[in-house]
C-alpha cells in the first residue's frame, strides 16, 4: 500500500522527483458519527450512524509549513431513523438503519499554525462498496420482534464527492490525533430526481507516522 499511496501523491502533484527522506507514511483510524443531509434531513428526524474509519496515508512536505497528505480509508457512513406508531391500543417501535460503507480517498493539504498543530482542508472522492437497509420493529405488549436487511446498493451512486475540514495535533514518538468534518457535495440517492441524500460525517482519529 505504501507504493500505491506514493505513486498517487506524485501523480497528483506532478512531481517528478521527491526526496525519500522527507516523505512519511502512517496509519490512522477512529470514530465516525455519520448522518444524511438534503431532503433526507428535511423530511425525517434522523439520528447518526456510529461507526469507524481505518486506513493509511502518505505525507509529503511542500514547504516549511505546508504538507500534502493523500489518504486511503475504509469508512462506515449512513444514518438511523427511529419511529413510534400508536393506534390507540398498541404501539409499534421501529428502528431503520441505512448502512453505507465506502473506500474514501481524501487529498488533504495541511498548514502548521503553531508547532505540532495544523489545520487541514481538501477534497475527497468516495467509492461505495456496500449499502444495506436494516429494519427492526417490535409491538408493545407482545414478545418477539421483526427484523430484516436488504441490499440497496442499486439505489445509490457508486461515487461520492466531499470537502474535508479539520485539525490535527502531533505528539512525540510519531503519534497524532485529529478531528475532521466531511461535507458531502453531491446527491447520492439515484431513485428519484426530487429527493436528495447527502453524506455528512464527523470523524475523530488517532494515528501513527513512521
Cα–Cα distance, 102 to 122 (Å, whole number) = 18
Owner of C-alpha cell 513512521? 210
pLDDT by 10s per residue, the chain, length 210: 555 555 555 555 554 445 555 899 999 999 999 999 888 767 677 889 999 999 999 999 999 999 999 999 999 999 998 776 666 666 777 788 999 999 999 999 999 999 999 999 999 999 999 999 998 887 766 666 778 899 999 999 999 999 999 999 999 899 999 999 999 999 999 887 778 899 999 999 999 998
Alpha-carbon separation of residue 194 from 157, 189, 200 (angstroms):
15, 10, 20
Distances (CA, A) of 6 to 13, 23, 57, 162, 176: 11, 9, 9, 22, 21
**Spatial separation of the C-alpha atoms in residues 21 and 61, rounded to whole Å:** 11
CATH architecture of 2-13+25-76+102-125+158-209: Beta Barrel (2.40)
Predicted model pTM: 0.83
Q: Which parts of 62-197 are beta strand (E)?
A: 66-86, 91-114, 117-139, 146-151, 159-170, 175-184
> What pLDDT is stored for residue 41 in this prediction?
66
User: Tell me, what DSSP letter sits at residue 48?
Assistant: P
pLDDT at 46: 85
User: Can you give the pLDDT at residue 40?
Assistant: 72
Q: Residue 59 and residue 127: Cα distance in Å, rounded?
A: 22
Amino acid at each position: 500500500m505504501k507504493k500505491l499511496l506514493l505513486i498517487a501523491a506524485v501523480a497528483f502533484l506532478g512531481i517528478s522527483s521527491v526526496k525519500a527522506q522527507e516523505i512519511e507514511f502512517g496509519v490512522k483510524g477512529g470514530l465516525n458519527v455519520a448522518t444524511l443531509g438534503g431532503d433526507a434531513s428535511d423530511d425525517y428526524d434522523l439520528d447518526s450512524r456510529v461507526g469507524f474509519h481505518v486506513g493509511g496515508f502518505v505525507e509529503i512536505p511542500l514547504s516549511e509549513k505546508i504538507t500534502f497528505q493523500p489518504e486511503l480509508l475504509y469508512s462506515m457512513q449512513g444514518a438511523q431513523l427511529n419511529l413510534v406508531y400508536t393506534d390507540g391500543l398498541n404501539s409499534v417501535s421501529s428502528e431503520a438503519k441505512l448502512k453505507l460503507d465506502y473506500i474514501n480517498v481524501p487529498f488533504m493539504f495541511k498548514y502548521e499554525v503553531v508547532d505540532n498543530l495544523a489545520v487541514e482542508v481538501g477534497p475527497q472522492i468516495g467509492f461505495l462498496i456496500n449499502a444495506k437497509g436494516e429494519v427492526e420493529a417490535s409491538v408493545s405488549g407482545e414478545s418477539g420482534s421483526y427484523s430484516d436487511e436488504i441490499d440497496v446498493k442499486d439505489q445509490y451512486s457508486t461515487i461520492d464527492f466531499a470537502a474535508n475540514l479539520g485539525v490535527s495535533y502531533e505528539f512525540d514518538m510519531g503519534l497524532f490525533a485529529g478531528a475532521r468534518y466531511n461535507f458531502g457535495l453531491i446527491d447520492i440517492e439515484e431513485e428519484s430526481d426530487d429527493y436528495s441524500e447527502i453524506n455528512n460525517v464527523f470523524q475523530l482519529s488517532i494515528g501513527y507516522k513512521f
